[in-house]
Amino acid sequence: MSERNYLEIMHQYCKDVQTGVRIAGKFEKLAVKRFLNDLKRQENDHDFPYSFSEERMNHVCSFIENLHHWKGALARKHFILDPWQVFVVGNIFGWEDEDGIRRFTDAYVEISKKNGKSTLAAAIGLYMLCGDGEAGAEVYAAAANYDQAKIVWQDAKQMVLLNAELRATFGIETTQYEIRSTTGNDNSIFRPIATDKEGSKDGKNVHCAILDEIHAHKDSETYDIMADGVIARREPLVLGITTAGSNKIGVCWRERCKVVDILYGKDNLERYFGIIFTIDKGDDWRNPDVWPKANPSMGVAFDTNYLQGKYKKIKTAAEESRFRQKSLNEWVQGADSWIASSEWEMLADPSVTEDDFKGCISFVITSFLMSLIMLLYVIIKRILLNVRVTSKKIFISLGLNFVIISVEIIGILTYKLMTRGYI
């Protein structure tokens, strides 16, 4: 197939986001702004060490578009990158430093389901396996469980099986557990790996790690081991792809916060690319007009009717949470919630801030002082006045006050976590 003008597609996408032709959320707009600002920096800022290479972007995009879909209505058809996918791929692979080394070593893409993130990740994995020119490349599809890890890897395997030219050019062989490239790059491998699989993940010489559905990772072990494993590589890539979750103390939220800080200009991680496709805070999640913010492939991979059908089936709090997480990429209460997020939101008073509580008397301190006074009282009665006071009374008194203090502390901590977006 003929090569498209990917740079033109990329710039048109940016223009559409900026002008409102593409209905985009704030984080998507900020990612576009960052890219355009960096283009200006490479021209005007002599201290900016990076430049954008159209040639490098074209090499990756054309490689991907010579692959084939293997399931659904698009089966056996060439992969055609959506504009948002060109933007993501172009950013990750197009930027390089003064020595020609790829700029971005880490990337985070958060997006709703059904937008082709796993297929895109599989294509990127294949490129890192055999198209990147890395000798003995080790590529891993990593996830919380082995079945999830195999989703991206299986997509890659089927793309290989459908492409005789790719197999012949790079000497690619597939097995039940591995994709291996034997031509020109010294036996590179592509394997699935999972948190729940026995055996150590240490000792990996990672060229590319694709971490799928990071929100489902119980801890940061797999992510951190993969990230640490790239140290010996010249141009590694740690790519996190995920939908929203509910655990705001896990590794996914950790990485998401990094990206948010980068996009807002609060953190200067020049080698970390990130983009988040989600509806904005304050948007009515029930309004189909905002759904494209979380679904940039809407109208291509699926239409509005698909989401409308899922929306109309919502009957419970759990179904609402699942729809908002998986289809609108919102971080809301988990799927086992019995009170819907929308019910909590209606109770919230957005006008109340932490500053409104400044100058108020702390009941925690008051309760603590009351406990001390009561303790002193019973001691005085027992010792000075020689009045018998049972240990049971002392323990009951102190226990009640301890419960009061504990509840108040939990309440204050909960409020602080909520105001900072952790709950």
Rg of the chain over all Cα atoms, to the nearest angstrom: 27
Candidate ranges 207-216, 292-301, 336-345; pick with highest mean pLDDT: 207-216
Are the CB atoms for 246 and 332 separated by under 8 Å?
yes
- Residue 328 pLDDT exceeds 90: yes
Are the CB atoms for 188 and 181 separated by under 8 Å?
yes
Count CA atoms closer than 13 A to 280's CA, side-chain side.
12
Q: At 306, list the tokens.
A: 């698909």
Give the integer Cα–Cα distance in Å for 276 and 25: 8
243: pLDDT confidence band, cut at 50, 70 and 90? Answer: very high
pLDDT at 76: 84
Are the CB atoms for 76 and 162 separated by under 8 Å?
yes
Architecture of domain 6-276 in this structure: 3-Layer(aba) Sandwich (3.40)
Residues 268-293: what's their mean pLDDT? 96
pLDDT tens for each residue of 62-114: 999 999 988 877 788 899 999 999 999 999 999 999 999 999 999 999 999 99
Q: Is the pTM of this model over 0.85?
A: no
User: Where is average pLDDT lowest: 221-235, 308-322, 337-351?
Assistant: 337-351
pLDDT at 339: 46
pLDDT at 244: 96
Q: Helices 54-65 and 6-19 meet at what angle, rounded to 10?
A: 100
pLDDT at 344: 43
User: Where is average pLDDT lowest: 32-41, 269-278, 380-389, 404-413?
Assistant: 380-389
Q: What percent of the chain has pLDDT over 70?
A: 76
pLDDT tens for each residue of 152-189: 999 999 999 999 999 999 999 999 999 999 876 578 99
